[in-house]
Structure 1
Amino acid sequence: MKTEKVGDASFETWTVDEVAQAFDRNEIVLIDVRTPQEYMFEHIEGAMLMPLAFFRGDKLPDQVEKRIVFHCGSGVRSERVARAAIAAGVRHIAHLDGGFAAWKEAKKSYIGTNMATGAPQAVTPE
């Protein structure tokens, strides 16, 4: 994990493996900042949706028990949201380096769409 100090705040960039391990141990809340359409097509199972267009850093819960980690498609929007959270007063925030594309490249499981039926399905890359 890379850590950057922004004033008195800490901005972290986590790797796919760091996010996956912490998420499996229930140590983080993973927030997807992509559009609802992107999320419905494919997403990390258990990730919450808070689209960039509707983001309100002042409405985030505290991080006493679990750290918040944002992710998007490539890492650009999640970095933007993380920095907006810092501007809203959040002191510790993180995002997934490379976003969902890096997650899929690392062959991590996710929920996708069955193109024949349109139904959601678990995808476990091999």
Structure 2
Amino acid sequence: MENLDEWVEKLKAVSQKKGSVVVVEGKKDKQKLEKLGIRNIYQIKGKRFYDILEDLENSSYVIMLTDLDKQGEKIFSRLKFILEREGIPVDWFFRQELKKFGIKHVEDIPIRRGDVSKTDNTMS
């Protein structure tokens, strides 16, 4: 993907598909994605892995959007393993693409994105 607008539009489309869930860490992450038009957001803060698995067991597609900091990486690895072990497909493509835009925290995605490209992290 060449810019953040394209990233948001793709995520928006995928999040609206039946059975899709976008997993984020906290309240601010969820609020930011809602402002961007993303649907079916599941916030994991304060929940045990077992409870998360139980909540997501009927999902057909889980998009992992935990933050790209040390804590987010730990949560991502553990939750990805647990979900995949139970046969729940996990997509981390959007998370990987977010790295290319230099954004470490979901809550930091700009609402007015303009053209944030992979090589130039400034907004126009």
Larger helix proportion of the pair = 2
> Higher strand proportion, which one?
1
